[in-house]
């Protein structure tokens, strides 16, 4: 069991500051020593890890823009197991740890989304060209890309006019090797295997092979490269969850205490296959004419199985035991949740199986011609196709558990049961078939891109070159979802008793027996928490046996309905590909042109160079949509007279709609660099950027509904209407504008050796047209021809904001300090960086209200945007989602002789995961002005945050000979626990805890 490491943010900041001081002192010491000793400095030969850092430092130092890079130290050897994990080492970059956007219940071991300087408006490129995954978004899922195929990763933080638009947070460019990168023949191969300590299992060996060669012929020089990679991963995650705390005035006389309604747990096994192939051909006739052709394909396949317990209880029927311990604020710490006034806590024991296959294929051709010393012309054509398809299946048994005991005073919750309850939990007679839920989605996206660029090089002391060009793209996207997206359907539920069925579909009934097995939880949380008790869960054969297994289970419901004498609707699978609600088809075409001037004053006391330019892009998009309205039956009972506002008679409405939108953006940019001396340089950058909405946000489907608030009087046959409610929900908004940003950067960069630098960056991004959920209107004529306005809940460009902060980065090897660190000790080095980001979001039309309320008006948006506590109060003042105020990396390195090692720690502070996270009903109305004050009649929705998280990884490699290297790697060596917290007025309370355990790898690399 690893030691849990939790560095406080102040300690990290202080550590980075001390490292920076060490950097300065050692740099000045080196400079003084060099000045005192006339002999030339010894040449240090850099290889492996040190060579990679040297290359990355050169890229940053020599770039026209502000950029940070990571370079592969060898063929197939980026420093982490996924591109996502590689990116988290870059200053200003943080990664998400949940499995998918919008999923706050499943942990991702290798990370998922990427944010740069706190913003998730990130563009992705492959070799300087657009690249994306077919997920309804615009960027790559970086975890889909084999890191073994990458030669390096560049993160651009200040754009120039010649770069493709779309990066507000930043641009991530993935670089592959080209044949002409090598002097001649090159062969490289790697083989590795990984063991998961939590899962107690080893994955299938992973490997990669690269072969490259170049030839000189009478027709010019040719080069060819092929790179193939296959990677497998087997991991497990365990999790605890605690539900919201409710205010209770009925537990301790004279005081209010806060009690969670239930707690639950889960475990998931996750298998991932990631394959990639990359090929490149290069040709050059001479220095005047050259061309290249590249092919890249990545395939990503996952399968996971989960056993999870979802506890459901009426919060005010749960009673804490008499021995319950509370903190100073009355919040429950230790106690037993009992249910003396109900049938028990409903445990839904679900088995869930999910599969997803994704692929991205990229074919690109480039040609460059230099007709003269001054002119360079190039043309580039690209075709990209991305696909993804998924199926998600969940089946649950149910059991009504009398009680559960919680201890929330430890690092992770302890949920325990007494002997009687444990015996109760293994008896099949106490279980019933609960529900099923299936989901399916598929997406395909295509893009054809063409660009032509020209560069004129000046023979001038100030003007360097003038660049200009055009780029045109044609992109289409088709996303299909099952409808309902997640088709939840009950088999037998306690709430059905007495209305639909007379008994539950008990597993103790021979008619309904079979299909479930006893499941244990070995090595749970690596032994850091008591293992949950054995329980019955549906077999995986049922979740993977859709639709036949579903039909069989729902036939039990039909049997019970027939026995009870009721008429029940038969189960229907979710619709697929036939309902407009599940189809999102879009086309987008762009035309861009730019011009950019590079300049430099080398003769100034402090030389200045840079570039200034402007990019103009015109975007034309089309979306196929649908608007539907089905009138409710008997809104006004027959024979009744309406008293109050007239109830409009609105006919059924269904209309296919094609949406079109066109907009242009002018994007200026300026990048300046001043060289104070050979070691110190300063940068200033200003630019305007845009980030287009995701395709999932542009869907044109809207569903309208009508209801009334009324009181019927049967005696007088009158219907007293107080309000007409015309509402709707839009899946997206085809008229969304891009999020735009005005960006200012100031940096200072000090370099004193091949791998020695200290940099500081100040940045500010003023954001406009942030996309949020808010209200709009949609008009439909009633039967009298009068327009009726529906208030529609839809995404809109409804806010502005900012993100500003500072980045500090330092790296150095200490071999120059031979007097201080003689012999083998001189191989040590260190890398450290720290990022601070402050953010703000201001709504164009604020919806904040102090207290929550119901209904379908702005009050619901108040809850969606500001959250709502279980005591009926909202929060407000929430930051941008996904933004950590602080993030840090610290790595200790060693390179000497045949040995190379690294111990790296990555940390980020808490960040808002979602403003509307865990939610439910029966919140207490505490608004003194409310007519329902004191009633438990409101919905609640709590903001969920990811807590601060840090993880230690390490590697040790030994170079056996010139061609062969063997190494060991460890991931999450401290067995760190990933934690979520939910925001309540009693404080940040633990919502979820996830453990993935350490992983250990052995790797062999061969190069010729």
Q: What does the pLDDT average to over 880-897? A: 93
d(CA 161, CA 164): 8
Please give the full DSSP string across 891-914, using - where no structure is assigned. Answer: EEEEEETTEEEEEEEEEE--EEEE
- Closest by CA position to 400, among listed 345, 350, 342: 345
pLDDT at residue 819 in the model: 65
**Which domain range does residue 263 map to?**
194-577
In a 13 Å sphere around the CA of 709, the CA atoms on its Cβ side amount to 8
The contacts of residue 578 (CB under 8 Å, 6+ apart) are: none
Least confident of 160-169, 238-247, 852-861, 911-920: 852-861
Confidence of residue 76 (pLDDT cuts 50, 70, 90): low
Per-residue confidence (pLDDT) for residue 626, from 0 to 100 = 86
pLDDT tens digit string along 607-623?
999 999 999 999 999 99
pLDDT at 860 over 80: no
Percent of the chain exceeding pLDDT 70 equals 94
pLDDT digit string, tens, across residues 668-678: 999 999 999 99
Q: What does the pLDDT read at residue 43?
A: 36
Pick the more confident residue, 48 or 457: 457
As for how many domains the chain has, the answer is: 1
Q: 4 falls in which pLDDT band (50, 70, 90)?
A: very low
How does strand 170-175 pair with strand 152-156?
A: antiparallel
Query: How does residue 359 score in pLDDT terms, banded at 50, 70 and 90?
Result: very high
Three-state DSSP at 180 gives: helix
Backbone φ and ψ of 567, nearest 5°: -105, 120
* Predicted confidence (pLDDT) at residue 315 exceeds the cutoff of 50: yes
pLDDT at 25: 39
Query: Is pLDDT above 80 for 486?
Result: yes
Q: Is the pLDDT of residue 378 over 50?
A: yes
| pLDDT-based confidence at residue 548 (cuts at 50, 70, 90) | very high
The pLDDT value recorded for residue 775 is: 74
199-203, 231-235, 512-516, 861-865, range with the lowest pLDDT: 861-865
Distance CA 291, CA 284 (A): 6
Within 10 Å of residue 291's Cβ, how many Cβ atoms? Answer: 17
Report residue 355 as tokens. 């599969």
Beta strands in 499-582 (DSSP E): 516-519, 535-538
Nearest to 570 by CA among 512, 500, 503: 500
**pLDDT over threshold 70, residue 240:** yes
Mean of pLDDT values over 805-814: 95
Would residue 474 count as lying in a domain?
yes
pLDDT confidence of residue 256: 94
Residue 377 has pLDDT above 90, yes or no: yes
pLDDT of residue 92: 95
Nearest to 344 by CA among 264, 395, 404, 416: 404
Span 912-938, average pLDDT: 88
What pLDDT, on a 0 to 100 scale, did the predictor assign at position 820?
Answer: 67
Average pLDDT score over residue span 425-436: 96
> C-alpha angle with apex 29: 23 to 32, nearest 5 degrees?
140
In a domain, 293, yes or no: yes
Contact criterion met (CB below 8 Å) for 742 and 683: no
- Single pTM value for the model: 0.89
pLDDT single digits (tens) 30-72: 443 333 333 333 333 445 788 899 999 999 999 999 999 999 8
pLDDT tens digits, 736-750:
999 999 999 999 999
Phi, psi of 118 (to 5 degrees): 85, -5
What's the average model confidence in pLDDT over 331-346? Answer: 90
- Spatial neighbors of 261 by CB under 8 A, at least 6 apart, are 243, 244, 246, 311, 313, 314, 315, 318, 337
Sequence-distant (≥ 6) Cβ neighbours of residue 597 within 8 angstroms = 463, 465, 466, 467, 611, 612, 613
- The most confident of the ranges 249-258, 392-401, 487-496, 635-644 is 392-401
Round to whole Å and give the CA distance between 374 and 371.
Answer: 8
635 vs 738, residue with greater confidence: 738
Which pLDDT does position 818 carry in this prediction? 60
pLDDT at site 335: 96
* Percent of the chain scoring above 90 in pLDDT: 70
What number is the average pLDDT over the span 370-393?
Answer: 97
pLDDT beyond 50 at 913: yes
Please give the average per-residue pLDDT across 388-408, as a whole number: 96
Range in 322-326, 893-897, 1000-1004 with the lowest mean pLDDT:
893-897
Structure tokens of 710?
């009324």
Which ranges of 349-470 would DSSP assign to H, the alpha helix? 419-425
Work out the mean pLDDT of the chain and round it to a whole number: 90
């Amino acid at each position: 069991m690893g030691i849990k490491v939790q560095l406080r943010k102040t300690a990290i900041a202080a550590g980075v500051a001390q490292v920076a001081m060490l950097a300065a002192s050692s740099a000045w010491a080196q400079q003084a020593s060099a000045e005192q000793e006339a002999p030339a400095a010894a040449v240090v030969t850099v290889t492996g890890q040190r060579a990679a850092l040297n290359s990355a430092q050169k890229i940053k130092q020599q770039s026209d823009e502000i950029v940070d890079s990571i370079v592969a130290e060898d063929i197939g050897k980026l420093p982490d197991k996924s591109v996502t994990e590689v990116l988290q080492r870059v200053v200003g970059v943080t990664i998400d740890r949940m499995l998918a956007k919008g999923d706050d219940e499943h942990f991702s071991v290798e990370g998922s989304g990427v944010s740069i300087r706190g913003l998730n408006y990130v563009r992705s490129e492959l070799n300087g060209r657009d690249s994306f995954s077919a997920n309804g978004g615009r960027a790559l899922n970086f975890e889909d890309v084999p890191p073994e195929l990458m030669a390096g990763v560049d993160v651009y933080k200040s754009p120039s006019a010649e770069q493709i638009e779309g990066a507000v947070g930043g641009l991530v460019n993935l670089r592959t090797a080209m044949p002409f990168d090598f002097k001649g023949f090159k062969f490289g191969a790697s083989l590795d295997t990984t063991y998961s300590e939590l899962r107690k299992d080893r994955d299938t060996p992973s490997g990669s092979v690269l072969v490259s060669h170049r030839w000189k012929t009478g027709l010019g020089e040719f080069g060819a490269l092929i790179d193939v990679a296959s990677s497998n991963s087997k991991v497990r995650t365990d999790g605890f969850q605690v539900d919201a705390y409710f205010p209770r005035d009925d537990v301790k006389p004279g005081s209010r205490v806060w009690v969670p309604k239930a707690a639950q747990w889960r475990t998931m096994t996750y298998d991932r296959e990631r394959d990639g192939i990359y090929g490149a051909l290069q040709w050059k006739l001479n220095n005047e004419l050259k061309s290249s052709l590249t092919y890249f394909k990545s395939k990503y396949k996952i399968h996971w199985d989960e056993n999870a317990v979802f506890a459901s209880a009426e919060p005010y029927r749960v009673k804490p035991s008499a021995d319950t311990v509370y903190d100073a604020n009355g919040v429950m710490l230790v106690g037993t949740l009992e249910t003396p006034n109900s049938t028990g806590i409903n445990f839904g024991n679900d088995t869930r199986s999910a599969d997803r296959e994704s692929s991205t294929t990229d074919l690109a051709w480039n040609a460059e011609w230099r007709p003269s010393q001054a002119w360079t012309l190039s043309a580039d054509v690209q075709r990209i196709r991305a696909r993804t398809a998924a199926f998600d299946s969940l089946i649950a048994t149910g059991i009504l558990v009398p009680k559960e005991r919680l201890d929330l005073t430890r690092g992770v919750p302890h949920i325990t049961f007494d002997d009687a309850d444990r015996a109760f939990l293994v008896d099949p007679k106490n279980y019933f078939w609960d529900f099923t839920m299936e989901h399916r989605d598929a997406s395909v996206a295509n893009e054809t891109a063409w660009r032509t660029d020209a560069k004129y090089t000046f023979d001038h002391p100030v003007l360097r070159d003038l660049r200009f060009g055009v780029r045109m793209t044609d992109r289409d996207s088709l996303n299909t979802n099952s409808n309902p997206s997640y088709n939840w359907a009950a088999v037998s539920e306690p709430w059905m008793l007495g209305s639909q069925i007379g008994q539950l579909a008990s597993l103790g009934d021979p008619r309904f027996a079979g299909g479930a097995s006893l499941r244990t939880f070995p090595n749970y949380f690596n032994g850091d928490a008591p293992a949950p008790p054995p329980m019955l869960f549906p077999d995986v054969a049922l979740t993977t046996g859709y639709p036949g297994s579903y039909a069989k289970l729902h036939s039990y419901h039909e049997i019970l309905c027939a026995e009870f004498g009721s008429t029940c609707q038969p189960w229907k699978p979710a619709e697929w590909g036939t309902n407009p609600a599940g189809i999102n088809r879009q086309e987008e075409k762009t035309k861009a042109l730019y011009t950019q001037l590079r300049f430099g004053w080398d003769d100034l006391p402090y030389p200045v160079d840079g570039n200034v330019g402007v990019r103009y892009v015109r975007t034309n998009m089309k979306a196929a949509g649908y608007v539907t309205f089905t009138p409710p039956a008997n809104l006004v009972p027959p024979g009744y007279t309406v008293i109050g506002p007239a109830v409009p008679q609105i006919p059924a409405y269904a209309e296919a709609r094609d949406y079109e939108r066109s907009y242009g953006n002018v994007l200026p940019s300026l990048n300046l660099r001043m060289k104070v001396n050979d070691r110190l340089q300063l940068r200033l950058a200003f630019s305007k950027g845009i980030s287009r909405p995701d395709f999932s946000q542009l869907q044109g489907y809207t569903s309208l509904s009508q209801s009334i608030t009324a009181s019927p009087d049967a005696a007088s046959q009158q219907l007293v209407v107080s309000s007409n409610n015309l509402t709707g929900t839009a899946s997206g908004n085809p008229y969304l504008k891009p999020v735009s940003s005005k960006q200012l950067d100031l940096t200072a960069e000090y370099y004193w050796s091949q791998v020695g630098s200290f940099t500081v960056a100040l940045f500010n991004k003023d954001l406009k047209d942030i996309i949020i959920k808010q209200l709009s209107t949609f008009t439909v004529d009633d039967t009298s021809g009068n327009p009726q306005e529906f208030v529609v809940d839809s995404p809109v460009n409804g806010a502005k904001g900012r993100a500003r902060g500072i980045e500090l980065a330092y790296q150095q090897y200490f071999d120059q300090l031979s007097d201080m660190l003689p012999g083998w000790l001189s191989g040590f080095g260190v890398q450290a960086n720290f990022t601070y980001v402050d953010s703000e979001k201001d709504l164009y039309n604020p919806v904040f209200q102090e207290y929550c309320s119901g209904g379908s008006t702005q009050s619901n948006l108040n809850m969606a945007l500001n959250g709502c506590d279980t005591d009926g109060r909202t929060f407000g003042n929430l930051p941008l989602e996904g933004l950590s105020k602080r993030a840090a990396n610290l790595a200790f390195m060693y390179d000497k002789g045949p040995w190379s090692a690294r111990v790296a720690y990555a940390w980020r502070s808490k960040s808002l995961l979602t403003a509307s996270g865990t939610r439910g009903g029966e919140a207490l109305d505490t608004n003194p002005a409310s007519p329902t004050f004191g009633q438990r009649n409101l919905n609640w929705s709590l903001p969920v945050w990811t807590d601060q998280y840090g993880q230690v990884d390490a590697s040790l490699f030994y170079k056996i000979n010139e061609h062969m290297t063997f190494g060991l790697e460890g991931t999450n060596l401290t067995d760190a626990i990933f934690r979520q917290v939910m925001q309540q007025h009693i404080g940040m309370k633990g919502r979820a805890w996830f453990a993935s355990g350490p992983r250990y790898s052995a790797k062999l690399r061969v190069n010729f």
